[in-house]
Structures are given as C-alpha cells and as structure tokens.
Amino acid sequence: MKVFIMFLALMIVFSASLVYRNDMELYMRMQDSLKRLAEDCAAGGSLATDRDLYASGRLCIDREDAERISSVLIEKAMEKTMFSRGTISQTVRIFDDVKGYDGIEGYGLSAGRPAVAVSLTYSGPDIFRLSFLNKQTVTRTAVYQWEY
C-alpha cells in the first residue's frame, strides 16, 4: 500500500510539472510572437509618413495610417491558434516634428528623430492550467526610431 501511495504522489507531482512546462512554453512563445508583432507594427507605422509635410521638409508620421497598418497586422496574428481565444489591443505613441517629443526619454531614445512606440496587450483566458498560477494578459512594447 505504501508503494501505491508513493506512486500516486509522484505521478501527481510529475504530471503537474509536465503541465507547467507545457504552459510555460506556450507563454514564452506567446511573448515572442507578441514582441515580433509589436516590432512589425512599429516599423510599419514609422513608414506611414505624411506626404505633404514630407514634401515641405518635415518628417511627420500619419497616425491613422500607422494604426491601420497595426490593425491589419493584428488581424493576421489573431488567426494563430495561440491568440485565437483572446483579443489583442494596441496603443500607438508617435513622436515627430509636429506632435513633439514629450516622453520619448522614457523609451531610451533621443529627441529630434521621429519614432513610433507600439504597445500590444493580449487579454484572454488564463494561460496556465494549474490553479495557483494566474496569467491572463501579456504586454509587449517595441519602438522604431528613424536614423538619418
């Protein structure tokens, strides 16, 4: 009987560690995918310049186009199975000659060069299946700054 009880205890511990390892791998892949998506959104958004202001010698990023590019990329990412059960929200901050450079130091960047900062937040059901671990949101931020 003692052997049977030890076998059950070890089976429960090893099963819990296997579930934890699989959930942690999913969490790490989700963070990596969200980071790459944020980088793509920031890079694509920084290329959406205002043509009229650019013709006059000022570099200004068009907010509507930048958010539209991010929305298209997010819609494509939602087709992945890891993101299909939740939602991804975006926050786009633009620093340029027209909108100003207030708060750019918080991202570790220097003022005077346009930049786009994109924060993506995935919200969905609990990622971990173990009852004592709760993680329902994943947030990643990426910044793309013009170098010239």
**pLDDT per residue as tens digits for the range 100-148:** 888 888 888 877 888 999 999 999 999 898 888 899 999 999 999 988 7
pLDDT tens track for 24-67: 999 999 999 999 999 999 999 998 888 888 777 778 888 899 99
Which pLDDT score is estimated for 138? 94
Letter string b/e over residues 18-46, b meaning 16 or more CB atoms within 10 A of that residue's CB:
eeeeebeeebeebeebbeebbbbbbebbb
Q: What angle do CA 20, 24, 29 make, to 5 degrees?
A: 155
